[in-house]
Amino acid sequence: MKMGRPIRQDLKIIRRAQMPGAKHNRQVPTVTAKSLQQKWSKAVKTNDVKTMLKIGGKLLQTLEKRHSSFALHRIEVLEQLAELKSQTGNYRDAGSYYYALRHLDAKLYGEFSLEVFQDDVHLAEIALAQGLVEDALKLYKEIKSQAAQLLDRNNPYFAVVLNNLGGIYFAQRDFLTARRLFEQAFKINRTHYNRQHKSIVINLYNAGLAYEALKYEKNARANYQEAYALAGKVLSPDDPVLEVLKGKIG
């Protein structure tokens, strides 16, 4: 079997709107610069990435000059711009937006909050995307320590941290530590999702890669087969993860 790379956890599962305890009960005031706000809202609604990238910076400048009650709208704009920059491979700008978002979240919700936790995960992923493996590893160790205090041990967001940290150790060829982290993430997700979720497929596959790297071929194949069987139930036929698994058991 050809060695593959671990699949990183989809960070969309910890988007702000889905986070337990996320504070969204305050109304976002209307921006005085109506034309900019209207253009932004229309671009978001129609997924007009070009317009969002074009006017996003100007809209942020407008919001920064206004009363602190506009902070929640600034968070929304920062979050969307950071994600767009990341998707287009502009990790430097994405990192700048995530740092600004983290600063604002810490000010609004406190340094020890779920919002800041989310920002730190994104910053670690940006560092990794830029090839800054040691920086990403340091960040993820800090996030893991924070998550252990902030989240219940069976929280799927904690599993995201464990899975992605395992991926870094795998890249550094510490396959034993990687396998342990992948299996810890698997146990959390298996309990939380009752065996019916894409995250479990990813954890099983990643642990299989670690077993394969450690020359435990029987364990690796068992993981791949279990992951493939579950993938047929929880993934769409065109999901790329399904194709990766087919290559492992074919």
pLDDT average, residue stretch 58-66 = 65
Helix axes 91-109, 71-87, angle to 10 degrees: 150
Q: Do 141 and 161 fall within a single domain? A: no
Sequence-separated (6 or more) residues with CB below 8 Å from residue 9: 159, 160, 163, 164, 185, 199, 202
Instruction: Give the pLDDT confidence score for residue 220 in this predicted structure.
Output: 95
Tell whether 1 is covered by a domain.
no
Average predicted confidence (pLDDT) for the chain: 82
Which domain-ending residue is among 126, 150, 174? 150
CB 146: neighbour CB atoms within 10 A? 17
Report residue 168 as tokens.
């870094």
For residues 114, 120, 108 and 21, what is the CA-based torsion angle, rounded to 10 degrees? -10
Q: Is residue 240 part of a domain?
A: yes
Domain final residue, candidates 150, 174, 196: 150
Residue 181 has pLDDT above 80, yes or no: yes
Q: Are 204 and 141 found together in one domain?
A: no
| Ranges 37-46, 79-88, 91-100, 168-177: which has the least confidence | 37-46
- Alpha-carbon separation of residue 97 from 17, 24, 46, 51, 244 (angstroms): 19, 20, 22, 17, 33
Among 130, 150, 170, residue at a domain's last position = 150
Query: Side-chain half-sphere of 114: how many Cα atoms within 13 Å?
Result: 16
C-beta of residue 167 within 8 angstroms of C-beta of residue 125: no
Kindly report the CATH number assigned to the domain that includes residue 42. Answer: 1.25.40.10
How far is Cα 129 from Cα 37, in angstroms, rounded to an integer?
32
State residue 65's pLDDT score: 56
Total count of domains within the chain: 2
Indicate if 173 and 138 belong to the same structural domain: no
Please list the alpha-helical segments (H only) found in 65-155.
71-87, 91-109, 114-129, 133-150
Q: Looking at the structure, tell me whether residues 69 and 168 fall in a common domain.
A: no
For residue 159, pLDDT over 70 is answered with yes
Say yes or no: 103 and 161 in one domain: no
Residue 15 lies in a domain: no
Range of the domain at 171: 155-250
Q: Express each pLDDT in 185-210 by its tens digit.
A: 999 999 988 878 999 999 999 999 99
Q: Domain check: are 143 and 30 in the same one?
A: yes
| Same domain membership, residue 171 and residue 138 | no
- How much is the pLDDT for 6? 83
Do 191 and 102 reside in the same domain of the chain? no
pLDDT at 15 over 70: no
- How far is the C-alpha of 249 from the C-alpha of 183, rounded, in Å? 20
**DSSP characters for 86-99?**
HHTT-HHHHHHHHH
Looking at the structure, do residues 84 and 185 belong to the same domain, yes or no? Answer: no
**How is the chain split among helix, strand and coil, in percent rounded to 5?**
75, 0, 25
**Residue type present at position 234:** V
Please tell me whether residues 86 and 173 are part of one structural domain.
no
Instruction: Count the neighbouring beta carbons within 10 Å of the beta carbon of residue 37.
Output: 17
More confident: 249 or 137: 137
* Residue 2: predicted pLDDT: 54
Where is pLDDT greater, at 188 or 76? 188
Phi and psi at 32, nearest 5°, equal -65, -40
Instruction: Tell me, yes or no, whether 145 and 32 share the same domain.
Output: yes
pLDDT number for residue 198: 92
Residue 4 counted as domain residue = no
What is the C-alpha to C-alpha distance for residues 125 and 187, in angstroms, rounded to an integer?
23
Quote the pLDDT of residue 34: 64
pLDDT attached to residue 31? 40
Question: Is residue 215 a part of any domain in this protein?
Answer: yes
Based on the domain organization, do 142 and 37 belong to the same domain?
A: yes
Residue 9 domain-assigned (yes or no): no
The pLDDT value given to residue 110: 86
Reported confidence tier of residue 10, pLDDT bands at 50, 70, 90: low
